[in-house]
Structure 1
Amino acid sequence: MPSTRTRRLTRPAALLSAAVLAFAAAGCGSSDDSSAAGSTPTPTVSASASAAASVLGIRDPWVKAADKGMTAAFGTLVNDGDTDVTITSASTEVSPMEMHEMTMQDGTMVMQAKQGGIVIKAKSIHVLEPGGDHLMMMDLKQPVKAGDELTFTLTFTDGRTQTFTAVAKPFTGAQESYAPGHGMPEESASPRPAA
């Protein structure tokens, strides 16, 4: 009969073996190709590994629908870590991107590039919203229609990246404009449609 110590070691080993088998089975999917067993991990496994390695949590990401020109991506960035995190750039296949903020200049709210990136303090959140910090999409290559799903990649100061998906929706609030040149002092006096 096995000793108490042997039984204690056997149970965790059995649980670990079962977990490894379950993970391997999930990675195999429903492939009909018999050579798939020796291939690289499936996208499902990669997505799980990527989610586990996320730098930030991203709640309620969305994009303002637009037919052309400029628009922006928004959401709530969550830093559950013990150190501050800084986003240095954002990218998407739909357009070039910049990180912007809204600031008061000569009594007028204007949009400008956010110098130094977007900092999310340790154990806190940072909201990207119309009328505040946002991920600016410049010179759209195609219309962004309500219901479209867009993929974005954030790059951090340490070189890590994180990808997330946001859904486009119509939005007519806030008073900033996504028109080219907005935010420059000489442009701020000219009326532009509200975003």
Structure 2
Amino acid sequence: MSTRTALALVALTLTTLAGCGASTEATPAGPPSSAAAVLTVRDPWVKAADTGMTAAFATLVNNTGADVTIESAASPASPVELHTMAMKDGAMVMRPKEGGFVVKAGATHELKPGGDHLMLMQPTGAIKPGDQVQFTLTLAGGGTVGFTAVAKPFAGAQESYAPGHS
């Protein structure tokens, strides 16, 4: 094999592996006669925290022709709730997201600081930068999507996930 061919194979392998990054694609279970919805979780991360509540964020991508609803989330690191931020009495407050997160057909739904997010209510321990936290999203109809989010420090929106802010 020539050096040029070997380099081309290495480049192709690295390109393929880079595409495997943090994004996760899964096909939820459903009746064989229905079109299977595919949800991709892109760039997931968790706000590192020594103590107390924290949150996870990502971009949810629906590449199908039907809306996908996320009804709940779970993690071995903590009980998880679907949350959003909303105005109440002139202040932004956190509250559970009624009806779950709907990812419209062919669209994305952003989970971000100051907006919709996955709330880790009672982490079993500190979540340090670099930790990998497992999540499972449960979709309407019973399908699930698993993914791993990496913890990172973030001061960003200065939101507080302390009790009493919901």
**Same fold? TM cut 0.5:** yes
4+ runs deviating over 4 angstroms: none
Q: Specify which of 147, 162, 165 is matched with residue 130 of structure 2.
A: 147
- What aligned pairs does 1:1-195 form with structure 2 within 5 A after superposition? 51=25, 53=27, 55-183=38-166
| Higher strand proportion | 2
Whether the 8 Å CA contact 2:70–2:102 is kept in 1: the answer is yes
Q: Match of 2:69, as an amino acid?
A: T
Q: Give the CA deviation at 1:52.
A: 5.6
Measure, in 2, the Cα distance between the counterparts of 1:136 and 1:95. 9
Tell me if structure 2 keeps the 8 A contact 1:109–1:176: no
- The structure with the largest helix share of the pair is 1
Identity %: 61
Report the CA distance between 1:176 and its aligned residue.
2.2
Q: Is the 8 A contact 1:152 1:164 kept in 2?
A: yes
When residues 154 and 52 of structure 1 are mapped into structure 2, their CA distance, relative to the original with a 3 A threshold, is closer
Q: How far apart are 1:51 and its partner, in Å?
A: 4.5
Largest Rg, 1 or 2: 1
Contact 2:130-2:150 at 8 Å conserved across structures: yes
Could you tell me which runs of 5 or more consecutive residues in structure 1 were left unpaired when the two chains were aligned. Answer: 1-49, 184-195
**TM-score, normalisation: structure 2:** 0.78
Greater RCO (CA < 8 Å, at least 6 residues apart): 2
